[in-house]
Every structure is written in structure tokens, then in C-alpha cells.
């Protein structure tokens, strides 16, 4: 089953052409940054233009080990779903969560090791020299491989 999921992921992110993501420029916005604390760990970051249905898959990083931080600007007050894949020490981790960001700045910090994969989502309380506060109420999303790339990449809620 994991091989089928990995094949679907590779087809969606690496083997097909995705139209470029065009971030919103009007209305309430938020910036979400992704930080990989396991510098040598191959990591992929996905997000979906429709965070509720997981449609419109987009890739920020594809099994990259040399990025330090990637970010995306999205509409505030709308569900945002992301997925992070790690492959390390013979262990494969996929973490997929949804939350509804307010205006401002967020970061998702990830770390993986031989025993576990961990992530934390934090919101900046002050923009200059920010204080990062953990976000409560993350909703775990179950990965699903659609028949077509335009389908839903998460199981329905």
C-alpha cells in the first residue's frame, strides 16, 4: 500500500506538469513558512489550493535536502492543508494537517529521526523579532491517492 501511495505522490509532484501557484494579492493574507530542522533528511512539502477538499496540489520542495526554508502566501481565514514527507533511517513519514490561519505569519517546523517524525505549527505574535506560539486544533488529514491529479488528495472529513 505504501508503494502505491508513493507512486501516486511521485506522479503528482515529480512526473506531471503542475501549473504555477499564483498566490492571492488581495484580501486578508497569511505567510506560512516551512523549516526543516533535519538538514540532511530528504523532505517534500505539498499544499493544496483548496484546503478543505485537498484539490489543486502544489509542491514547495520535492525530496530536497538543501533547502532551509520555503514559504507560501495564502488567503487567511480559509482552511489550509499541507503534507510533509520525510524519508530517513529506513523510515518513511507522511504528516498531513489542516488548520485555518488568521492574518499574519506562521511557520511549520519539522524534524525526523530514527524513532519518530515531529512537526509543530506556530504563529508569530509579534512581527519584528517574533514570539512563536504553538497553534492548537490542527486536524490530521488522511492521505488519499485520486485517480486523476485534479482529484482530492485527502480522504473526506
State how beta strands 91-99 and 139-140 pair: antiparallel
pLDDT the model gives residue 43: 81
β-sheet bridge partners, residue 84? 45, 95
**Tens of pLDDT along 42-55?**
788 889 999 999 99
Q: Per-residue pLDDT averaged across 8-23, rounded?
A: 58
Distance in angstroms (rounded) separating the CA atoms of residues 58 and 85: 14
118, 110 Cβ separation under 8 angstroms:
yes
- How many Å is the Cα radius of gyration of the chain? 15
Residue owning grid cell 506562521: 106
Q: How confident is the model at residue 2 (pLDDT cuts 50, 70, 90)?
A: very low
**Tens of pLDDT along 92-126?**
788 899 999 999 999 998 877 666 778 899 999 98
80, 28 Cβ separation under 8 angstroms:
no
Burial of 88 (0-12, 13-18, 19+ CB in 10 A): middle
Q: How confident is the model at residue 3 (pLDDT cuts 50, 70, 90)?
A: very low
State how beta strands 29-36 and 104-112 pair: parallel
- CATH code, residues 2-140: 2.60.40
Domain boundaries, the chain: 2-140
Q: The pTM is what?
A: 0.81
138, 123 Cβ separation under 8 angstroms:
no
Amino acid at each position: 500500500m505504501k508503494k502505491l501511495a508513493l507512486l501516486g505522490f511521485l506522479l503528482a509532484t515529480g512526473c506531471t506538469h503542475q501549473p504555477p501557484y499564483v498566490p492571492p494579492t488581495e484580501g486578508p493574507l497569511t505567510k506560512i513558512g516551512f523549516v526543516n530542522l533535519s538538514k540532511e533528511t530528504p523532505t517534500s512539502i505539498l499544499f493544496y489550493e483548496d484546503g478543505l477538499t485537498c484539490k489543486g496540489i502544489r509542491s514547495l520542495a520535492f525530496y530536497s535536502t538543501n533547502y532551509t526554508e520555503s514559504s507560501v502566501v495564502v488567503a487567511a481565514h480559509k482552511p489550509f492543508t499541507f503534507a510533509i514527507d520525510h524519508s530517513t533511517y529506513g523510515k518513511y513519514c507522511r504528516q498531513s494537517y489542516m488548520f485555518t490561519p488568521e492574518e499574519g505569519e506562521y511557520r511549520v517546523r519539522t524534524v525526523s529521526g530514527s524513532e519518530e517524525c515531529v512537526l509543530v505549527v506556530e504563529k508569530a505574535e509579534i512581527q519584528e523579532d517574533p514570539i512563536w506560539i504553538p497553534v492548537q486544533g490542527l486536524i490530521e488529514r488522511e492521505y488519499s491517492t485520486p485517480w486523476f491529479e485534479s482529484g482530492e488528495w485527502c480522504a473526506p472529513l
